[in-house]
Structure 1
Amino acid sequence: MVSQVNDLRSAAAGASRQQQVIARPATQTAAVPDNKQPDPLRLSQTLTPEHTRQHSLIQRAQHKIASSKVAEASLNDIGKNLAQLSKRVEFAMRSGSASPKIAADIEQLACRMEQRLEQASYKDQAVLSRQLKPVFHGEPRTSFQIKGLDTRRSSPRDETVIFNLAKGGANAVPVKLGANATPEQQAMQFRQALNEHGIGVSLNKQRQLVFSANEADWQHLSQKMRVVGQGDRFPAGQPNRVKLETTEARFEPQKWQTDKAHLRETLVQSQQMMKQIKASIQEIQLHKQDVMQRIDTINQRNHYLNDQVLESVEADLARILPNGDSFNSAFQNLKAQANVHRQTVVSLLSE
């Protein structure tokens, strides 16, 4: 054992790394027969589930921070181009029409913003939706409401509303709504019926239903979705085209028009988008603050756990080492001569 400690002393003198030591509590090894004792060489290499979970949480948090920065930078860039576009539209309105040069400038700015939105991604995952909302997880989605579907208006009788999604396969999706059902109960029924078709369902602050779909589904639903009711919320009989209204305007600058009749509409749309950008940036900043606080909490908790783990390893080593070579004497000797951290000493003794 003395020769082993001498070897470890020379290793500690050149140690420039600090290892984190994790082992099983002493109570888990105390009852094991001598011939079945765990190899002390492997004590420092045992990762606890708690350590693995904390490491995973920190990695996910760092991913969110990075993707949020990309989203914020993209929004700022789009906002600058929107400001330039608005100035050109205002100039065209004062002139009575957009000159060929102004129209070309607006078209160029629109193409630049469209490209910036398409490039707004982190690790091949989009970070902005078409409503210029940040995407913190999953894929970009468009939020919308179904016109005529008022969840706050109670119905005196049960009703089954059948939605035809026209997506192929099981097109007809029935939603059973009970008499006098609350908005929360209605939301649950819609969620159970539509979630498997990729349509999200939630309630807003006004307790009205809000749906969401990915880009491909939104394009399809906005053109094809139909509904059949029982004469209360929706008419009975043949399926009727249902009107979907987005909760926020969608950012589609290349569809904006610069002729005299649509200049004001283009200006209004650009101003709406600038307001949405401001709101989204505020949302991102709050999200980043929340994530950073979580990272700090995890790091503090990890530090506390590391101390516990180190004490557990020291207890295991003190029990395993022969009486003539106590752990405390070996520990203090190595620490004094090599001037290394406590974690490194424990790691060297347990390797």
Structure 2
Amino acid sequence: MNSLISSLDSAGSRTRRNNAGSVAPAPAADTRATPLALPEASTPRGPAASGWRYSNQLNEQLTSAQRALGFVDGLTGQLEQLKTDLSQQLTQRRIDREGLEAKIDRFAEALSQRHAQSGGSVDGNLRFHLAADARQNFTVRGMELDNLRKGSPETLALFSGERGTAAMSLSVGGDISEDDIMRRLNRTLAPSGIRPFVNDDGQLSFSVAESDWPAIRDRLTVRGGGIRFPSGQPQRVKTVAESERLSSSDWQVADHANVRQTLQRVVSALSQLRQAHSAIASAIEEARHSIDQLSRMGEQSWAEEFVADFNARLNQSGDYRSFLDVVPALLGLSRYRVISLLSI
């Protein structure tokens, strides 16, 4: 059952890192030529249809994963050809600048289609998200941990800019702990879909679904009490997006020195794409294994094992961050809704 949980757990909690739901690179065979079909035993046939609903969900995720694999492999193919051309140009007297620049432009155009071509399952850091819920990480000027924790108390009112939504109020200052400020941020920002986290550098960062990022980037405003942010009319905050891991903006081919430098960057980019390919392929194989398991498992057995694994995950040692993935799912969940669901 662990393989199923890890396949579905595309947003595992981490103590000091973004819980954006990435799948770590792992060696795996190339799955491009393998069709994504449900095992025959997992199709619904009365009482023997054990686990079919869950297998069907995983199969949809597999389809998304194959789109991601196709996107990554398409970029890899372009870079392999560019690498060959750059190597050949280094042995010639004259550089075919126009030809090389055209190939770099085509690669940049393909890279810009990342979200659409991967179905939202590959983010800007080439991390793979099995649930196709890639997120954009960003920071907000003026919202640093120390700035929000220390100093005089102040109430901030944040506005997502979405019509009809109320202000999100947040009390800061007063020398509160890091855990307290993160709890408050999570509770305040959860309705907007924004998730706060502490990045690898120990800095306060935020993430939002990539599809929601343009609106958050352009409309997020804050009103303070005149301590950290001005009072009066809400002011638009300065958001800084996390830079994408792969970019060709500085690939130059004007002369042999430029070509040599660009070749090194292309080789590095190819290594990153191969790691992404391995991560996606590994996740695909794990999900397929889960489908096979579910096709042979009764729904009651599945439910019992899932509940046991879920409880173990929530009861693991650690701090409140282990609950970050669960809180958004529980918003608006009332006793009446639970009873209605159980009565089906």
Equivalent AA in structure 2 for residue 283 of structure 1: A
**How many residue pairs are counted as aligned between the two chains?**
253
User: Residue 75 of structure 1: CA displacement?
Assistant: 0.8
User: Residue 143 of structure 1: CA displacement?
Assistant: 2.0
What is residue 107 of structure 1 aligned with on the other side? 105
Which protein is richer in helix relative to its size? 1
SS at match of 2:145: coil
What is residue 180 of structure 2 aligned with on the other side? 185
Find out whether 1:62 has 2:59 as its counterpart: yes
| Contact 2:82/2:100, CA 8 A, preserved across alignment | no
What CA distance in whole angstroms lies between the structure 2 residues aligned with 1:217 and 1:111?
22
SS at match of 2:126: coil
What is residue 133 of structure 1 aligned with on the other side? 127
SS at match of 1:280: helix
What CA distance in whole angstroms lies between the structure 2 residues aligned with 1:53 and 1:279?
35
Equivalent AA in structure 2 for residue 108 of structure 1: R
TM-score, normalisation: structure 1: 0.53
User: Residue 67 of structure 1: CA displacement?
Assistant: 2.5
| Contact 1:195/1:201, CA 8 A, preserved across alignment | no
In structure 2, relative to structure 1, the CA distance for the partners of 1:276 and 1:226 (3 Å cut) is: farther
What CA distance in whole angstroms lies between the structure 1 residues aligned with 2:161 and 2:118?
31
What CA distance in whole angstroms lies between the structure 2 residues aligned with 1:103 and 1:180?
54
SS at match of 2:128: coil
| Contact 1:130/1:252, CA 8 A, preserved across alignment | no
What is residue 216 of structure 2 aligned with on the other side? 221
Consecutive unaligned residues of structure 2, counting only runs of 5 or more, are 1-39, 302-344
Deviation by residue 1:93-147 (Cα, 9 ceiling, x = unmatched): x9999833333332233334445763334xxxx4334543323225443122224
User: Residue 294 of structure 1: CA displacement?
Assistant: 3.4
Find out whether 1:72 has 2:69 as its counterpart: yes
Equivalent AA in structure 1 for residue 145 of structure 2: T
What CA distance in whole angstroms lies between the structure 2 residues aligned with 1:19 and 1:280?
31
Deviation by residue 1:21-44 (Cα, 9 ceiling, x = unmatched): xxxxxxxxxxxxxxxxxxxxxxx9
Superposition CA RMSD, Å: 4.7
User: Residue 165 of structure 1: CA displacement?
Assistant: 3.5
Find out whether 1:176 has 2:171 as its counterpart: yes
What CA distance in whole angstroms lies between the structure 2 residues aligned with 1:97 and 1:192?
57
| Contact 2:51/2:299, CA 8 A, preserved across alignment | no
Equivalent AA in structure 1 for residue 117 of structure 2: Q
In structure 2, relative to structure 1, the CA distance for the partners of 1:69 and 1:101 (3 Å cut) is: closer
What CA distance in whole angstroms lies between the structure 2 residues aligned with 1:222 and 1:95?
47
What CA distance in whole angstroms lies between the structure 2 residues aligned with 1:88 and 1:80?
13
| Contact 2:41/2:295, CA 8 A, preserved across alignment | no
What CA distance in whole angstroms lies between the structure 1 residues aligned with 2:281 and 2:264?
26
Matches within 5 A, 1:1-351: 47=47, 54-85=51-82, 99-114=97-112, 118-121=116-119, 126-151=120-145, 154-155=149-150, 157-170=152-165, 172-177=167-172, 179-204=174-199, 208-229=203-224, 234-237=228-231, 241-249=236-244, 274=270, 276-299=272-295, 301-302=297-298
Deviation by residue 1:50-76 (Cα, 9 ceiling, x = unmatched): x76622122222333332233123212
SS at match of 1:174: strand
SS at match of 2:171: strand
What CA distance in whole angstroms lies between the structure 2 residues aligned with 1:239 and 1:95?
60
Once structures 1 and 2 are overlaid, which stretch shifts more, 101-110 or 221-230?
A: 221-230
SS at match of 1:127: coil
Deviation by residue 1:240-272 (Cα, 9 ceiling, x = unmatched): 55333334417676x778696xx7998898677
Larger Rg: 1
| Percent identity (aligned) | 18
What CA distance in whole angstroms lies between the structure 1 residues aligned with 2:95 and 2:72?
29
What CA distance in whole angstroms lies between the structure 2 residues aligned with 1:171 and 1:275?
46
| Contact 1:71/1:128, CA 8 A, preserved across alignment | yes
| Contact 1:131/1:251, CA 8 A, preserved across alignment | yes
